[in-house]
Amino acid sequence: MSLASKGLISLIEWYRIHISANTAPTCKYYPTCSTYALTAVERFGAIRGAILTILRLLRCRPWSRGGIDDVPEKFSVFYRFSWSSAHEEPSIEPKYHPFEKETQA
């Protein structure tokens, strides 16, 4: 993992501890944007992961429906379009995310 990737992961973890933990949950997507960002950076590196994260943040707007939005298996900014070679159908069940916060019962 590159130094840039480690830096981004550290920033995202800082956000989760200091900002996200102190606000009410409002994310309409699963996984949350921070979990999506961590997974994208780990899977594709700093630059490609940041691009996917920015596109995800742009999709999170008041009139979007939300739902399950997993990080794609192959990198493409067009993976949501059916004509793309990296197209993936939206899943009904979420995939496992290694960065998902553990829930205490």
Query: What φ, ψ does residue 48 adopt, rounded to 5°?
Result: -65, -40
Q: What is the pLDDT of residue 12?
A: 94
Question: Could you report the per-residue pLDDT of 18-31, keeping only the tens digit for each?
Answer: 998 898 888 888 88
Residue spans of the domains in the chain: they are 3-68
Please give the angle made by the CA atoms of 61, 18 and 54, to the nearest 5 degrees.
35
Report which secondary-structure segment, H or E, holds 30: strand 29-30
In this prediction, residue 16 has a pLDDT band, given cuts at 50, 70 and 90, of very high
Query: Which residue type occupies 103?
Result: T
In this prediction, residue 51 has a pLDDT band, given cuts at 50, 70 and 90, of very high
Q: What is the pLDDT of residue 101?
A: 59
- The DSSP code sequence of 55-68 is HHHHH--TT---EE
Q: What is the pLDDT of residue 98?
A: 62
What is this structure's pTM? 0.80
Cβ-proximal residues to 18 (8 Å cutoff; 6+ apart), any chain = none
